[in-house]
Structures are given as structure tokens and as C-alpha cells.
Structure 1
Amino acid sequence: RLRYLLSLFCVLYDANTYKYPIREKRTFKPTVTECPPNELCFKAVGRYGNHSTLSARGCMVEKYCRKKHSKRFKGTVYTMSYSCCDWPYCNSCLGIAANLLHVAVAPVAAAVMVALDLRRLMV
């Protein structure tokens, strides 16, 4: 049910996502883009041994989510892992779990604020 609710959320709001190419761990300003209807937002991590050294964000077809593959970058072969999500800005640096929390809490907070305003008007 949660997946359908999140999909509805994406339909109601633009499915914007952060995007930047594969890069080494250093600051990089991502751009905002809208994923096509058949793609999800992704967050990628590239590992070399026990070290997470690469990252990327963007859109991809769902069948490639939760996959790993080798990627050559500047002469070194890294293992890239991809995780996908389907609500606006879910691939931010804050992490997918934090964004899911925001999606769940925001409607409740809005309902409480409306209820308090209505109560104040009735007094």
C-alpha cells in the first residue's frame, strides 16, 4: 500500500530528482531534473575495496535498481551499487529513509495545523 501511496504522491507533485554524473567524493552542486514517467530517481555509490569513493544521482529504469556492476572510472574499476526511490527529491544527500519520514510526517503536520486553525476560529 505504501508503494501505491508514494506513487500517487509522485503523480500529484512533479517527480523532481537531483542529478549529477559519477564523481569522486568532493563537493558538487547537483542540478534538478524531472524523471521521465518510466524512470525512478536513483542514488549510486561506487566502492573500491572497503572504501566508498564515487557517487552519482539521477534517473534510471526500474529494472536496473538494486543492481551492482563494475564501472571503470579514471583507470580504476569500481563496484557501483544503485538504490532507487519514487518521490520528489528522494535521492538527496539526507538519504532515502529521512525523505520517507518527511513524506509521512508532512501530511500529519498539515492536518494538525489546519485543525488548530479551525479550533481557534470556533473559539
Structure 2
Amino acid sequence: MADLLRSQGERYHRAPDSAQDPDELRRTQALNAEITAQNDLAENEDRANAAAQTEAQRRYQSALEAADADRQRYEADLRTAAEAKAVHDRQMADWQATVAACERGDRARCKAGRQAPAPNNN
């Protein structure tokens, strides 16, 4: 940019502070201080926003992990219940076959199966 201005005949030579208008120098310094303060504030806001975003991502990841653990427990409970039901169903079928054998007069089977089926606690 400075090269472009020079090529167009522009020349800038900063005068020493002692040669500048004191009022203009104070206004320039005040504006520079205000701009610096605004930049610092914006930078602090950016840092706070980044920290909040990082914390939100951490909470979200934690919630995902908890939901996955809940799902895994639920699926394990379903498998356990299905296995228990299968055992109960086999026992019930055996008991019903024993009852039917007893009703037909099959004493050997009737004596062998004198247990009631296990209760279904589901």
C-alpha cells in the first residue's frame, strides 16, 4: 500500500510528537487506547466463547457416552429377559407334556415330571 501511495506521488513523514498539535496528539492517543481496549474486549469475548463451546462439546460427548451406556445396559437386560423367557418356555412345554402324559396314563413320565414349572417373573 505504501508503494502504491508513493507511486501516486503521496509522501508521508511522521512528525515527531513535539512538532504535532498537542490536542490532536491527545485525541489520537485516546482513540488508539479506545481501539486497543475494544480489541482486548473482543479477544476476551472470543476466548470466553471458545471456552463455552469447548464445555458444551464436553457435556454433549458425556451425554452421548451416558446414553450409549444406558443403551448397552438396556440391550443386555433384553438379552437376559429373552434367555429367561426361553428357559421358562422350555420348562412350561416340558411341564405341559408331562401333564398330557399323566392324562394319557403314562405313569413313568408322570412320576418323572412331578415338578411344576418355574414361575415367570417377567
Q: What TM-score do the two structures reach when normalised by structure 1?
A: 0.28
More strand by share: 1
Higher Rg: 2
